[in-house]
Structure formats: C-alpha cells, structure tokens
Amino acid sequence: MAVRAIRGAVQVDADEREQVLEATAELVAEVMRRNALTTDDVISVLFTATPDINSEFPALAARKVGFSDVPLMCATEIDVPHALPRVVRLMAHVETGLPRSEVQHVYLRGAQALRLDIAQ
C-alpha cells in the first residue's frame, strides 16, 4: 500500500449551512466511490473554503457521513482576486494500492473549472 493524496473541490450556490454540508458530503462520497476507498483507508483530510464561506465547517459533513475517527482540519483559502467564489476544497491522504496515475481527483459543480486537466 502507498500513501496518496487525493484532491477535490465543489462549488456551492450560496454560503448557507445546508448547502455547504450537502455539497461537502457529496464531494467526500464521490472521492471515496471513485477511488474504491473506505474510511479505514483515510489517514487525514484537510478541507479549505474560500473566504466567502463561513456558515459551517466543511469537516462537519465528513463527520456526519462516518469519518468519526479520521483526523480532519479546516482552513481558509488565500483571498486571491478573481478566484472562483464559494468553493470547498479537500486534500485527502489515503492508503491505497492505486498507482498515482490511477488516482481519481474529483471536481464537482462549478469547481470543474479549477482543474479542467484532471477533472473527471
């Protein structure tokens, strides 16, 4: 098994608690599904949110879907002018047998524009 980092992001329509939780849960679920992972495979997850999101911690969504014993952390993205607004990002560190070239990074909703080169 190797340790791999998996990236992902999702854009929300508005900074509303339920939208942040629902979109983050969708992102986490899709990362897990596309990479055939269980929570036992996850070492840690770093969540970031653009400065215009402050209605809820994105990590709460992961806790609600079963990441009860996985170390999670939230931070704010750098406030870069003209950056895509209302984006939650994640970087998950996982143990997997997948080679780096087969890791599936997940960009959902408007966040696909962030990484057209790797968004599936």
pLDDT digits (tens, 9 = 90+) for 36-88: 999 999 999 999 999 999 999 999 999 999 999 999 999 999 999 999 999 99
Burial letters 68-95, b for 16+ CB under 10 A, else e = eebebebeebeeeeeeeebbbbbbbbbe
- Our answer to whether residue 115 is catalytic in this structure is yes
Q: Which residues contact 40 (CB under 8 A, 6 or more apart)?
A: none
| Domains present along the chain, CATH in parentheses | 2-115 (3.30.1330.40)
Write down the mean pLDDT value for the chain. Answer: 94
Q: How many CB atoms lie within 10 A of CB 33?
A: 11
d(CA 26, CA 108): 9
Choice between 102 and 110, residue whose per-residue pLDDT is larger: 102
Phi, psi of 66 (to 5 degrees): 110, 5
- Our answer to whether residue 56 is catalytic in this structure is no
Q: What percent of the chain has pLDDT over 70?
A: 96
- Our answer to whether residue 17 is catalytic in this structure is no
pTM of the model: 0.93
Catalytic residue among 22, 26, 30, 77: 77
Flag whether pLDDT at 112 surpasses 90.
Answer: no
Task: Provide the pLDDT for residue 117.
Answer: 67
Q: Which residues contact 41 (CB under 8 A, 6 or more apart)?
A: 94, 95, 96
